[in-house]
């Protein structure tokens, strides 16, 4: 029997963090397997990435459901069916609702592109540039009902003195990919 931790990754866009996590699993760097990708944008690049890894993907259009609770019920049923132990949000652009939180609270983590509690919500990098900070960073935290306010698990900072959002995203993504894999490793080895 496999003793690998069973992970689901939720994403809405490119999925470079998904890629980093799935590839670390494949290489054996993480004693885990990504069994499910959940995506609220059927056209997103992450859907193709999941296919390339041959990982099951539940992509859905929220508009096809009467409410958040309806689509989250379906998500919970899929997570339960696969015995998912850890949900990693990686660019999932939806607030997690009570249905999913009540079922998986304490087992959902998120990566955010700022040093929380600074610059919560969308466009964190742009907010930080606008503020004029010289130290940027990323945070991994547990997800609760607040906006990017759950307990912090890990943070990593980097210096940047320019004014290009693209550049900060580029540097930040490389930091995210390493930190996400390291953090998942610590959580599943506990």
**Residues contributing to the site for ligand GRF (CB under 6 A):** 11, 13-17, 90-91, 111-113, 176
Task: Determine which helix (DSSP H) or strand (DSSP E) holds 185, and give its type and residue range.
Answer: helix 165-189
Q: Which is nearer to ligand GRF, 10 or 104 (CB)?
A: 10
Instruction: Determine whether 177 is an active site residue.
Output: no
Q: Which residues of 109-122 are buried (b: 16+ CB within 10 A; e: fewer)?
A: bbbbbbbbeebeee
CB of 183 to ligand GRF, least distance (A): 13
Only one residue has tokens 């959940």, namely: 38
Residue with the CB atom nearest ligand GRF in the bound state: 91
- Residues 6+ away with beta carbon under 8 Å from 83: 6
Q: Which is nearer to ligand GRF, 40 or 176 (CB)?
A: 176
CB of 118 to ligand GRF, least distance (A): 14
Q: Which is nearer to ligand GRF, 71 or 92 (CB)?
A: 92
Angstrom distance (rounded) from CA 31 to CA 134: 36
Annotated catalytic residues are 112
């Amino acid at each position: 029997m496999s003793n690998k931790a069973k992970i689901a990754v939720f994403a809405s866009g490119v999925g470079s963090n998904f890629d980093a996590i799935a590839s670390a699993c494949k290489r054996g760097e993480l004693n885990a397997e990504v069994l499910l990708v959940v995506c609220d944008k059927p056209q997103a690049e992450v859907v193709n990435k999941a296919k390339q890894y041959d990982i099951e993907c539940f992509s859905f259009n929220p508009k096809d459901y009467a409410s958040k609770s309806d689509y989250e019920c379906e998500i919970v049923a899929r997570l339960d069916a696969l015995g998912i132990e850890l949900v990693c949000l990686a660019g999932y652009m939806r607030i997690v609702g009570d249905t999913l939180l009540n079922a998986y609270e304490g087992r959902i983590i998120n990566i955010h592109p700022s040093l929380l509690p600074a610059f919560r919500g969308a466009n964190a990098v742009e907010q930080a540039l606008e503020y004029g900070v010289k130290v940027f960073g990323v945070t991994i935290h547990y997800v609760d009902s607040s906006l990017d306010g759950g307990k912090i698990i890990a943070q990593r900072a980097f210096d940047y003195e320019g004014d290009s959002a693209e550049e900060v995203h580029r540097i930040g993504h490389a930091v995210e990919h390493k930190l996400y894999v390291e953090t998942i490793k610590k959580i599943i080895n506990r």
